[in-house]
Amino acid sequence: MRHLTLTGRKIMEGACTSTALVSHAPISFLGGVNPTDGKVTLKNKDIPGQCVKDKILVFPEHVGSTVGSYVLYSLSKRGLAPAAIIVQEADAVIAVGAVIANIPMIDRVDISQIKTGDTVQVDGEKGTATILKRAKS
């Protein structure tokens, strides 16, 4: 497979390579992700019960309370944070959360190209996400 590089906007610098965890529905960190175990708790999501720890978390947008920034920070302090975040369109809450939690983040990326289980390399400085390996179907 040729690597597919998607270019977006850099929000938080940093780089990593990990497995993608993709939600096609918006995510709320307050009430949607358990800060004590890192698992997605909302039942209407396509990734319920999945842990965000060390994953490239991919979703269209953040919804919900401004407390979501602090939930991301709490996940980081507990060692349960995503390795990076790719969001279709970032709002101030998720951007601040990524900055205070030191999580590489980019937005304005065509997230429909990324599937759960893909191996993805995120470069927050360049604003790119490169799909290195596709998940087995």
Q: Catalytic site residues?
A: 65
Q: Quick one: DSSP state of residue 127?
A: T
Do the beta carbons of residue 100 and residue 72 sit within 8 Å? yes
Query: What are the residue ranges of helices labelled H in 7-108?
Result: 68-77, 92-101
Three-class DSSP category at 124: coil
Total number of residues shown for the chain: 137
